[in-house]
Structure 1
Amino acid sequence: MIYQAVGDRIAVDFSTWPGIDAERACSTLQKQGFHREIFDPEWYAQGLIGRRNVFYACGLHSKNAPKAVDCSSLMKYLFGLCGIWIPRRAVQQKAFGIKLDRPEPWSLVFKTGACNLYEDSPKYGVGHVGLVTDHGTVIHAVDRPTPVVEVPLREFIARRGEYRGAARIIHHPEATYTFSFPPELEIETSDDVRWRILKDLTPTP
């Protein structure tokens, strides 16, 4: 899996790089100025729950997160902190991820909202998104004085006809790390990181 960098952060999935030992690679990257960061969108989300200095603003540019968020810009912000680029809108995020039969931890869960977008039929419209936690809840942004809230998953998808499915963004969370990197390095995707590792690990003839 190739991830696209967000700012100075990039996620790498070591399970897709046969022959590269993760710990040895981390040591190599550290020498190049990389720093390992927390890889946990739920952890970042928990830090925003109940904060009154976070405002709800539907449709505002995602660069305003976390000061101002709506449901999908919050998701974009959380995964961006993990070094994973995702699209801006909930309907795009659903198409971007891997479709799941049921929600799982760190997946995105979708339902209808105030403004539903669709391609073929209104009955497939998507208007709201949240992050599923590892303890059966959903963290999402709503239009309230403290917009980032946590609710039971069952409550989030309770109303019949509103649920629009779930999608996996992180393919192998147990093997995925997040790194920050110096601005002078041209890192656009996780494949750029792979080649920097291989360059250092390959013996000079």
Structure 2
Amino acid sequence: MDYRAVQVNSSWRCAVNLEELNLPFFPEQVERLLNELGFRCLEIDLLAAARGCVGKSAYALSADPRHAPRTVNCSSFIKYLYSLRGVWLPRYAVQQSELGAPVAIGSKLRLGDLLFSPGFFPLSRDRDGAGGLGHVGLATGEGSVIHASKHQGTVREVPLDAYLGMREGVHSIKRLIPDPDLTLTYLIPTNSFLESSDDVRWLAHTNLRR
């Protein structure tokens, strides 16, 4: 899966799965090259970052993503979390739902899976709003969901069953990082330009000999 680089504060980062690049080099060679070029691998705890916002981030319906995590809505909260992981996401839940791999409803959820709830939103792809989305939350992989709650005015962690009851079920589930253990988050050095994880392919071909 190709991941688009994202800016976090004054620096840029990008998630990369070296195994998926199908390069004629060993992943260890590419890792060593990235280190030599000044890329730094970051350890990101997505669950800790999400729980760190519980009861602290303020909810605002039209929250500006640039103000996260201080102020969030449901989708800007998700956008913020994945930016830490080096994955750029669009700002609206409807747009976010079009990315990633589908997960069958009722299957075991992993940390990072996105649960989209039905509801009307003007950005629905249908002219009448049918099939629209109303909310998005993050699965913890531990039987709960963390989401920015309009009614609670902040970020909350709730049991999965309670979340589904509040949100009138699930519209769809998406998995943005299928192989989290193999997907690394790199801090991009200021003297390099990387638009997406696919650009690592060209760095490798340019700098490594077969």
| TM-score, normalised with respect to structure 2 | 0.85
The within-5 A match list for 1:90-129 is 90-102=93-105, 104-105=109-110, 106-112=112-118, 115=121, 117-120=123-126, 121-129=128-136
Secondary structure of the corresponding residue to residue 97 of structure 2: helix
Q: Report if aligned partners of 1:116, 1:127 keep a CA contact under 8 Å in 2.
A: no
- Cα RMSD between the aligned structures? 2.3
Task: State which of 127, 135, 138 in structure 2 corresponds to 1:131.
Answer: 138
Q: Report if aligned partners of 1:109, 1:131 keep a CA contact under 8 Å in 2.
A: yes
Q: Report if aligned partners of 2:145, 2:160 keep a CA contact under 8 Å in 1.
A: yes
Greater helix proportion: 1
1:197: which partner in 2?
204
Task: State which of 138, 154, 158 in structure 2 corresponds to 1:147.
Answer: 154
Shift of 1:55: 1.7
How many matched pairs?
201
| 1:156–1:117 CA distance, 2 compared to 1 (3 A) | farther
Partners of 2:167 and 2:67 in 1: CA distance: 33
Q: Report if aligned partners of 1:14, 1:20 keep a CA contact under 8 Å in 2.
A: no
Task: State which of 167, 170, 189 in structure 1 corresponds to 2:174.
Answer: 167
2:47: which partner in 1?
42
Shift of 1:22: 3.0
1:6: which partner in 2?
6
Secondary structure of the corresponding residue to residue 190 of structure 1: coil
**Any idea what the Cα deviations from partners look like across 1:47-100, whole Å, max 9, x if unmatched?**
22222xx22111222111111110100101111111111111111111123222
Task: State which of 152, 155, 164 in structure 2 corresponds to 1:157.
Answer: 164
Partners of 2:79 and 2:192 in 1: CA distance: 23
159-168 vs 170-179, which moves further: 159-168
Partners of 2:47 and 2:177 in 1: CA distance: 12
Q: Report if aligned partners of 1:38, 1:178 keep a CA contact under 8 Å in 2.
A: yes
Unmatched 5+ stretches in structure 2 = none
Q: Report if aligned partners of 2:21, 2:198 keep a CA contact under 8 Å in 1.
A: no
Amino acid at match of 2:69: P
Partners of 2:154 and 2:168 in 1: CA distance: 24
Partners of 1:119 and 1:6 in 2: CA distance: 25
- State the identity as a percent: 36
2:190: which partner in 1?
183
**Any idea what the Cα deviations from partners look like across 1:129-175, whole Å, max 9, x if unmatched?**
01111212111111367611111111111258442121111132221
